[in-house]
């Protein structure tokens, strides 16, 4: 086990009881996070890893203060840190571990974050920034906050699982199932982030009513959502639902795809030959079974797939820049096909009341986030249906 | 007798007709194939081989693609890939017979009409191991029918059996004989042993396949392979080949002077630009598409491989038609998504 951040410690030392005490919104943590955020917002870093700039933005002082306020209660409950938190983030979404950890640290928890051996350069940059910040920070930070890397070692995962009060498992169904084989203490519990699928919806009427500049802005936002993580992040939109008059939907779809092709070409985003083949394999697979009725390959970067019916949208990843389309007459038609696996629903052109009615009809049975185009990947402390600051704290009720 | 006879223009004319007929045949007989072509907006007629609709070869791992009713399935061939996915290729009696006959005709171009004594550069225990049987074992068994008096060059542990090789050469070494094996096994376990023990392979005709990846690590490329086999063991008749279970019976065979693979009369290759998907001219590397008239029981007549290749020339080599090389494999696309297993990550 390698300690990538925090005071050097053996596994035994790391899991031994600690005399250090942090509070919810501990000023030492707030100070540390704010200075860490400034390092991420340095232009040289932000240029190299735009996703780190979003992270820096998320951690700026005003946001931290808002998160701390949100952790407080107005009733007769007192809020305390949950205790020891063990985070197991995914290997290849480079920044999620920081969001998860930072909110937990802000809540005053002692944290151990397992960083994958395969973590990418953005993760290395984050660790450099953390280590550069900790030198001037209160020593309690290094003693209570640690990032570690270890190989497939059930003994380490087991020891950290017995140590923690909350285990945060990102990385999908397989990761959750594997890690759950390691028992927790009876009082502890898991916060799991299983496989998810996300969608986009375009109002046909809203699109028609929008100015050309607004259409273009919508497509630009959508392209960020889709292409940033090769359309494979849990929040990346996959199938696009056209909602409205079917006879008008075809023209809207055509214009949307054309604009998308333009935007993607302007950005210089390409997919390599392997990805292009992957998309053909998956698109042909959908056509073979009859799930798709028409395929459009205007270029490698954008693949359009016409679905035979709305329920036939694929929930597995089918490649970067692969967009199944289905047309429905209203959002109500989507309610029956949404499932617990579905996470983010990005939208364009709908009146607020239509969206509210849609969410109420879903009744929490599917879809955790409804956000405008361009915000699908914006991390929030409300995630996967959880209010993370509340998950990271515990309550003591006091009646006098 | 040879199946390497047609100049490119004549081959193109005959292939475009036969393959267009096969497109129509598979469209009528294989619903998934029909659906794919309909969704892709594929026309009914084609002016040239490069216009024919191709299927990505990996589709045979994901889908059941066959153009014969279940009760006519005579043989199901499988190939296990490195990722554990398996291609399933369905043959009826006629297709099975055709593929054996055409494979025979192809290798007889370099072996002559008679069965030759055969040294198999592999281990007999290969056939007992059910896991590796489908891939390597099927290849060895398929080729074994073109030889006689077989001797295995490797012992049960996969180590060179020098006594067996010596015995084979003592009995058959003074007249033409056939050597077959996977390229890296031939290099590691026959070439090195023959050189060390001064064995004379001068009357051998080597047919080998299986890729160069393991040899590139040792800085052995196809030219070096031929040069050193010839210099150190006397083996001069060396023919690499390229083929895949998804187009069973069709192999692209290296010509006598080496350096290029040739297409039999019933098959061809098209090198495509992976950006525009247009056919690339000789000299430009791209993705390799293989076409063959043999697949009648499944729609494998026009396949886009995940191999990179280049056409070196047309009608300008040992045999007529295109001559080409396989340059390596396209890496598998990987997404950097949230869903990422602990097992793999750890």
Q: In chain B, where are the structural domains located?
A: 8-88+253-329, 100-242
pLDDT average, residue stretch A182-191 = 97
Q: Indicate if B100-242 has the same CATH topology as B8-88+253-329.
A: yes
Q: Facing residues of A86 across strands?
A: A112, A167
Q: A124: which residues sit within 8 A by CB, 6+ positions away?
A: none
Determine phi and psi for A156, rounding to 5 degrees. Answer: -70, -50
**CB-CB under 8 Å, B59 with A90:** no
- pLDDT score for B218: 78
- Determine which of A123, A181, A273, A304 to mutate to test the interface with B (most B C-beta atoms within 10 Å): A273
Residue with tokens 């604009």: A259
**CB-CB under 8 Å, B32 with A288:** yes
- pLDDT score for B220: 85
- pLDDT score for B124: 85
**CB-CB under 8 Å, B306 with A300:** no
pLDDT average, residue stretch A272-296 = 95
Q: What are the structural domains of chain A?
A: 2-193+384-397 (3.40.605.10), 197-372 (3.40.309.10)
Question: What is the share, in percent, of chain B residues with pLDDT greater than 90?
Answer: 76
- For the ranges A157-171, A372-386, B170-184, B204-218, the lowest mean pLDDT is seen at B204-218
Q: B84: which residues sit within 8 A by CB, 6+ positions away?
A: none
B332 versus A116: the higher-pLDDT residue is A116
Q: Minimal Cα–Cα distance from B33 to chain A, Å?
A: 6
This complex has an ipTM of: 0.90
pLDDT average, residue stretch A195-206 = 97
Give the residue among A121, A181, A194 at the shortest CA–CA distance from A385. A194
- pLDDT score for B137: 73
Q: Which token pair is B23?
A: 């497109």
Q: A55: which residues sit within 8 A by CB, 6+ positions away?
A: A37, A40, A95, A98, A99, A126, A379
Q: Minimal Cα–Cα distance from B61 to chain A, Å?
A: 10
B1 has pLDDT over 80: no
B53 versus A60: the higher-pLDDT residue is B53
pLDDT average, residue stretch B130-158 = 80
pLDDT tens track for A2-44: 999 999 999 999 999 999 999 999 999 999 999 999 999 998 8
Q: Which token pair is A90?
A: 């995914």
pLDDT tens track for A130-179: 999 999 999 999 999 999 999 888 999 999 999 999 999 988 898 899 99
Give the residue among A364, A368, A365, A367 at the shortest CA–CA distance from A383. A368
Q: Minimal Cα–Cα distance from B103 to chain A, Å?
A: 29
pLDDT band at A361 (very low <50, low <70, confident <90, very high): very high
Which residues of chain A does B34 touch, with a Cβ-Cβ cutoff of 8 Å? Answer: none
**Which class in CATH covers the domain with range B100-242?**
alpha beta
B230 has pLDDT over 90: yes
pLDDT band at B43 (very low <50, low <70, confident <90, very high): very high
- pLDDT score for A96: 80
- Determine which of A287, A294, A342, A383 to mutate to test the interface with B (most B C-beta atoms within 10 Å): A287
Which residues of chain B does A152 touch, with a Cβ-Cβ cutoff of 8 Å? Answer: 342-343, 346
- pLDDT score for B130: 56
Find the CB nearest B333 among A236, A294, A319. A319
Which residues of chain B does A274 touch, with a Cβ-Cβ cutoff of 8 Å? Answer: 306, 330-333
B216 has pLDDT over 80: no
pLDDT tens track for A308-330: 999 999 999 999 999 999 999 99
B80 versus A344: the higher-pLDDT residue is A344
- pLDDT score for B345: 30
Alpha helices in A289-385 (DSSP H): 352-362
Question: What is the share, in percent, of chain A residues with pLDDT greater than 70?
Answer: 99
B47 versus A175: the higher-pLDDT residue is B47
CA distance A78 to A73: 7
Find the CB nearest A170 among B287, B306, B338. B338
- pLDDT score for B26: 98
pLDDT band at B342 (very low <50, low <70, confident <90, very high): very low
CATH domain B8-88+253-329 topology: Rossmann fold (3.40.50)
Which residues of chain B does A264 touch, with a Cβ-Cβ cutoff of 8 Å? Answer: none
Q: Which token pair is A332?
A: 């109500």
pLDDT average, residue stretch A39-55 = 86
pLDDT band at B134 (very low <50, low <70, confident <90, very high): low
pLDDT band at B135 (very low <50, low <70, confident <90, very high): low
B81 has pLDDT over 60: no
pLDDT band at B344 (very low <50, low <70, confident <90, very high): very low
B339 versus B128: the higher-pLDDT residue is B128
Which residues of chain A does B56 touch, with a Cβ-Cβ cutoff of 8 Å? Answer: 277, 280-281, 284
- pLDDT score for B343: 38
- pLDDT score for B131: 53
- pLDDT score for A151: 86
- pLDDT score for A94: 67
- For the ranges A241-245, A296-300, A305-309, B22-26, the lowest mean pLDDT is seen at A296-300
pLDDT average, residue stretch B151-170 = 93
- Mean of per-residue pLDDT scores for chain A: 94
- For the ranges A258-267, A270-279, A292-301, B81-90, the lowest mean pLDDT is seen at B81-90
CA distance A251 to A255: 6
CA distance B288 to B279: 10
- pLDDT score for B85: 76
- pLDDT score for B212: 78
Determine phi and psi for A133, rounding to 5 degrees. Answer: -80, -35
**CB-CB under 8 Å, B287 with A273:** yes
- pLDDT score for B332: 75
Find the CB nearest A229 among B55, B304, B336. B336
């Amino acid at each position: 086990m390698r300690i990538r951040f925090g005071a050097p410690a053996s596994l035994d030392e790391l899991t031994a009881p600690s005399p250090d005490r942090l509070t919810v919104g501990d000023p030492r943590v707030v100070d540390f996070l704010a200075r860490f955020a400034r390092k991420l917002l340095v232009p040289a870093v932000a240029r190299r890893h735009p996703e780190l700039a979003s992270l820096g933005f998320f951690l700026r002082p005003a946001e931290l203060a808002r998160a701390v306020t949100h952790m407080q209660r107005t009733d007769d409950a007192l809020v305390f840190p949950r205790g020891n938190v063990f985070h197991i983030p995914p290997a290849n979404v480079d920044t999620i571990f920081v969001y998860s950890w930072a909110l937990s640290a802000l809540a005053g928890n002692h944290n151990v974050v397992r960083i994958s051996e395969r973590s990418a350069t953005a993760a290395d940059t984050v660790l450099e920034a953390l280590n550069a910040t900790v030198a001037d920070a209160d020593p309690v930070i290094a003693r209570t906050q640690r990032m570690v890397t270890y190989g497939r070692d059930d003994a380490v995962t087991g020891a950290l699982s017995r140590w923690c009060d909350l285990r945060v498992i990102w990385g999908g169904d397989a990761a959750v199932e594997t890690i759950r084989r390691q028992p927790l203490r009876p009082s502890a519990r898991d916060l799991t982030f299983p496989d998810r699928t996300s969608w986009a919806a375009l109002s046909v009427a809203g699109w028609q009513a929008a100015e050309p500049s607004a259409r273009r802005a919508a497509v630009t936002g959508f392209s960020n959502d889709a292409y940033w993580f090769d359309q494979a992040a849990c929040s990346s939109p996959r199938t696009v639902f056209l909602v409205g008059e079917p006879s008008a939907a075809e023209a809207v779809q055509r214009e949307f795809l054309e604009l998308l092709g333009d935007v993607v070409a302007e950005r210089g985003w390409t997919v390599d030959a392997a990805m292009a083949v992957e998309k053909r394999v998956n698109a042909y697979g959908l056509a073979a079974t009859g799930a798709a009725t028409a395929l459009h390959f205007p270029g490698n970067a954008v693949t359009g797939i016409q679905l035979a019916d709305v329920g036939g949208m694929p929930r597995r990843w089918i490649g970067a820049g692969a967009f199944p389309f289905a047309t429905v007459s209203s959002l109500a038609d989507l309610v029956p096909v949404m499932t617990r696996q579905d996470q983010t629903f990005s939208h364009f052109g709908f009146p607020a009341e239509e969206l509210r009615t849609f969410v109420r009809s879903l009744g929490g049975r599917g879809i955790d986030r409804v956000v405008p185009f361009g915000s699908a990947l914006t991390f929030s402390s409300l995630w996967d249906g959880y209010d993370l600051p509340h998950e990271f704290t515990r309550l003591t009720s006091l009646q006098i | 007798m040879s199946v390497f006879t047609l100049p490119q223009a004549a081959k193109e004319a005959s292939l475009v007709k036969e393959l267009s007929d096969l497109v129509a045949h598979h469209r009528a007989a294989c619903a998934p194939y029909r659906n794919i072509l309909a969704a892709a907006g594929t026309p009914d007629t084609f002016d040239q081989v490069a216009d024919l609709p191709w299927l990505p070869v990996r589709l045979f791992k994901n889908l059941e693609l066959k153009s014969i009713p279940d009760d006519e399935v005579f043989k199901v061939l499988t190939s296990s890939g490195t990722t554990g996915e398996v291609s399933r290729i369905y043959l009826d009696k006629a297709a099975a017979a055709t593929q054996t006959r055409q494979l025979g005709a192809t290798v007889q171009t370099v072996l002559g009409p008679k069965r030759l004594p055969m040294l198999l550069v592999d281990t007999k225990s290969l056939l007992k191991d059910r896991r590796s049987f489908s891939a390597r074992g099927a290849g060895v068994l398929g080729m074994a029918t073109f030889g006689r008096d077989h001797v295995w060059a490797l012992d049960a542990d996969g180590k060179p059996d020098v006594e067996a090789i010596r015995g084979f050469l003592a009995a058959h070494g003074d007249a033409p004989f056939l050597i077959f094996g996977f390229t890296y096994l031939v290099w590691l376990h026959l070439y090195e042993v023959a050189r060390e023990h001064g064995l004379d392979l001068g009357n051998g005709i080597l047919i080998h396949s299986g890729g160069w990846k393991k040899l590139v690590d040792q800085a052995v490329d196809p030219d070096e392979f031929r040069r050193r086999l010839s210099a150190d063991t006397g083996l001069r008749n060396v023919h690499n080949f390229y083929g895949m279970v998804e187009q069973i019976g069709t192999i692209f065979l290296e010509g006598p002077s080496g350096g290029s693979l040739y297409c039999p009369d019933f098959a061809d290759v098209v090198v495509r630009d992976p950006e525009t998907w247009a056919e690339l001219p000789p000299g430009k590397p791209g993705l390799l598409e293989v076409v063959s008239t043999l697949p009648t029981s499944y729609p494998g007549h026009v396949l886009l491989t995940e191999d990179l290749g280049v056409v070196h020339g047309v009608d300008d080599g040992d045999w007529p038609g295109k001559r080409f090389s396989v340059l390596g494999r396209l890496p598998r696309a990987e997404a950097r998504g949230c869903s990422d297993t602990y097992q793999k990550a750890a």
